[in-house]
Amino acid sequence: MTSIPTHEDGEQALSTAYVLISRLLFPALCLLLVVLYVEETYGDLAWRSLRYPYFVGALLTILVGSVVIEEVWTILRTKYTGTLTNDLRNVWDEWNKSIGIAVLMILYVALIEVVGFIISSFVIMLAIMYLAGERNWKAMIAITVVFLTCVYVLFVYGLDLVPPEGPLGI
Amino acid sequence: MVIEVGPALEMLLTPTNLLIILIAVPIGMVAGSIPGFTGTNTVALALPLTIPLNAETAIILMAAIYVGANYGGAIPAVLINTPGTTGAAATVLDAYPMTRNGEAAKALGISILASVVGGLLAAFALLVLIQPIADIAFLFGRPEFFVLALFGLVAVGVALGGNIRKGLIAGIFGLLLAAMSADPTTAQRRLDFGFFGLYDAVPFVPIIIGVFAISELFYLINQERVSRGDGDGPDITSYDGIIDGFKYVISRPIQVIRAVSIGTVVGALPGAGVSVANFISWIIAKNSSKDPDSFGEGNPDGVIASETSNNAVTAGALIPTLTLGIPGSGTTAVMLGALLLHGVQPGPRLLDNFGTEATAIMLSLLIANVVLLAFAFLISKYIVRVVLLPTRWLVPGILVLTIVGAFALRENMFDAGLMILFGFVGFLMREHDYPLVPLVLAVILGPIAEAAFLRSMLISSGEYGIFFESTVTRILWVLIVFALVWKPLSTRLKPYTPSIIS
């Protein structure tokens, strides 16, 4: 877990905007889900079908609302001295590999449907190993080939499962 | 109900049946260790293979796979923070922190013996208590299930959230996610964003893999190895650590018996099953512990609670299957299908007409668990080495396995995308101290809770009083209030103890 770094005098070294955005991102996601749910269903479904999800949504709104108020109150009462640009630079320095793997994950899911499971897995495995610091290409290729062969045999022949195929039929 | 042990043993101890158990347990273990490939999937795959077999051999084959798969789910849970099956979702909470602290072999040892002992004791309990437990299961109608689901969520949210509201938010967020699929009564679309993959049901397997395994990859890629241990100690790669784990389980008889009881009873409740039992057992273990704060940080008792109960469920789930003809879980539903396939009509008369076969099936669980102990012990020394691999090799491998695991359930790439999305959500939640377990439990329990709510409303013509009528619901409401009030109250009432800092 990351923790908010502080100066020795107790003042927090982050910017108000960064703390506000990062702490309220998940509550905002919850509230967005409630709003979208109501927007999609209100008037289209009978009330007896909506009782349960709306009850759940109302509970979520109340709890999230109370957390948001508490977070905002705490943030506004704290003196932050950092700048947003500096905070974003620190986030990049700390999490650049994680951001890289997040991008590669999205690319992987998109690639599988286009070029198939084996080719996309081969490319992504090499890319992640490189990102994680591996530079021995022979080892990277050997590990990838052996691993994918095992996975393919296990799933296709052992568990009778056909992963998505690309233009080459693999 | 007729328990005929002698003839049943005669029926069970044939070379064919023993060979089938010997082969099926390791197969189940391997399949269970693949994230996303559930015990139900494996048992379902074995269903066509049972056609040439007789009814009891068919069910013995499936029960042995089920036992193996239920333990197999613990292997990735211990080693890479990825529950192989939903039954191992609570195992990760303490087993993975143990691994990160250099106690992977001990965690694996605990999970092996806890699973085996849980399975063995529950199988004995099944033989002796099948009828009384079935009677308890009868007490749970739709209103009771709804309130039980609420209680489960509240208990987990309160116990896990350092901040109670955050724990409850995670759980209620999960309930709303589970209610995004089509309305169960009218099949009208709700919030599916135009994706057919969300129309029928919100798939919980990709969500579980996403929040636990994918979110963990964001942390793993920044470190050298999974284990923070030095890797030189006997705990990592020898049998010593595993035996330490065995000894620890033997030294905790109360914890084991409690988890067995929970697993057997929850397993007997139709629809609850393995996904719920391990969480309930973990929460009760935490609340009964003298050191509840250490749960979730690598307390071995947490691993015992989860692993013992999830293997006890295998026996418990057979209770409604055999006595009522109602499957206690997805896997027993497939087993029930196998019985039908072989011309055996499920229902209360099943035990009267096929008492010997039913007893042989229950006894087969005992043998399957002994095979599991031997096999798991032999291979654990080798699989534990996974934690010593550099993460630069491990991370891409885990990603590929999880993608295939998410895809496997419905052979649908949408599920793989959903898993990645929930990896991001899980990371966000972990960074801001929202516990993941209430979310996972809510996504699993959500459809059960909503169906129970809607049916109760139909039965009562829209009167909410139905949720307060029976003794069981009243007890559960009292427990809910107690869970909500106790933690804040106990914190406020805790006597002031001055810190001894010079």
Q: What is the mean pLDDT of each run of 10 residues along chain A (170 residues)?
A: 42 80 93 95 88 94 95 88 88 93 95 91 96 93 94 78 75
d(CA B178, CA B93): 23
> Above 80 in pLDDT, residue B434?
yes
For residue A164, give the DSSP letter: P
Q: What is the pLDDT of residues B82-139, one digit of tens each?
A: 777 777 888 888 998 998 888 888 898 999 999 999 989 988 888 887 767 666 666 7
- Any B CB within 8 A of A150 CB: no
d(CA B183, CA B316): 31
Start-to-end C-alpha separation, chain B:
69
pTM of the model: 0.78
Q: Do B462 and A48 touch (CB under 8 A)?
A: yes
Percentage of residues in chain B having pLDDT higher than 90: 20
Specify the pLDDT at position B77: 85
- Any A CB within 8 A of B142 CB: no
- Token pair, residue B3, equals 């328990």
Percentage of residues in chain A having pLDDT higher than 70: 91
> Above 80 in pLDDT, residue B458?
yes
ipTM value of the model? 0.91
Distance of CA B474 to the CA centre of its chain: 27
Specify the pLDDT at position B330: 65
> Above 70 in pLDDT, residue B1?
no
Q: Can you spell out the DSSP letters for B397-464?
A: HHHHHHHHHHHHHHT-HHHHHHHHHHHHHHHHHHHTT--HHHHHHHHHHHHHHHHHHHHHHHHTTT-G
Specify the pLDDT at position B156: 74
Specify the pLDDT at position B498: 42
Specify the pLDDT at position B417: 94
Q: ∠ CA(A110), CA(A111), CA(A113), 5° rounding? A: 80
CA distances from B206 to B198, B210, B419, B426 (A): 12, 6, 5, 12
The answer to whether B227 and B102 are in contact (CB under 8 A) is yes
Burial tier of B8 (Cβ tally within 10 Å: 0-12, 13-18, 19+): buried
The answer to whether B214 and B436 are in contact (CB under 8 A) is no
The answer to whether B46 and B31 are in contact (CB under 8 A) is no
Our CA-based measurement puts residue B2 at a distance from the nearest CA of chain A, in whole angstroms, of: 37
Residues of B in contact with A129 (CB under 8 A): 392-393, 396
B73 or A10, higher pLDDT: B73
Q: What is the pLDDT of residues B167-212, one digit of tens each?
A: 899 999 999 999 999 998 888 999 988 888 898 888 887 888 888 8
d(CA B139, CA A21): 49
- Any B CB within 8 A of A43 CB: no
pLDDT category at B482 given cuts 50, 70, 90 is confident
Specify the pLDDT at position B176: 96
Specify the pLDDT at position A11: 44
For residue A158, give the DSSP letter: I
Distance of CA B350 to the CA centre of its chain: 27
- Token pair, residue B197, equals 């993959």
- Residue of chain B whose Cα is closest to the Cα of A19: B432
Share the mean pLDDT of chain B: 82
d(CA A108, CA A117): 9
d(CA B171, CA B156): 8
The answer to whether B122 and B363 are in contact (CB under 8 A) is no
The structure tokens 């295998």 sit at B314
The predicted model gives B54-77 an average pLDDT of 83
Q: ∠ CA(B92), CA(B97), CA(B98), 5° rounding? A: 100
Q: Do B411 and A162 touch (CB under 8 A)?
A: yes
d(CA A29, CA A98): 21
Tell me which residue of B149, B81, B172, B123 sits closest to A60, measured CA to CA. Answer: B172
- Token pair, residue B314, equals 């295998």
| Highest-confidence segment of B3-7, B149-153, B392-396 | B392-396
For residue A170, give the DSSP letter: -
CA distances from B195 to B133, B198, B403 (A): 42, 6, 19
Our CA-based measurement puts residue B45 at a distance from the nearest CA of chain A, in whole angstroms, of: 7
| Residue B433 Rama label (left phi>0; alpha psi -120 to 50; beta) | left
For residue A6, give the DSSP letter: B
Q: What is the pLDDT of residues B436-447, one digit of tens each?
A: 878 887 887 788
Residues of B in contact with A113 (CB under 8 A): 413
Q: Can you spell out the DSSP letters for B97-125?
A: HHHHTT-HHHHHHHHHHHHHHHHHHHHHH
Q: What is the pLDDT of residues B215-265, one digit of tens each?
A: 889 988 988 877 655 444 445 556 888 889 999 999 999 999 999 998 888
B408 or B407, higher pLDDT: B407
Instruction: Identify which of B186, B217, B420 has the shortest CB distance to residue A106.
Output: B420
**Containing H/E element for B196?**
helix B196-199
Share the mean pLDDT of chain A: 87
d(CA B96, CA B317): 27
Q: What is the pLDDT of residues B463-479, one digit of tens each?
A: 899 999 999 899 989 98
- Token pair, residue B421, equals 């999305």
CA distances from B416 to A111, B170, B210, B231 (A): 12, 22, 9, 34
pLDDT category at B324 given cuts 50, 70, 90 is low
Specify the pLDDT at position B45: 66
Residues of B in contact with A98 (CB under 8 A): 218-219, 221-222, 427
Q: What is the pLDDT of residues B268-316, one digit of tens each?
A: 776 556 667 888 888 889 888 888 888 888 999 999 999 999 888 878 8
Residues of A in contact with B185 (CB under 8 A): 48-49
The answer to whether A14 and A80 are in contact (CB under 8 A) is yes
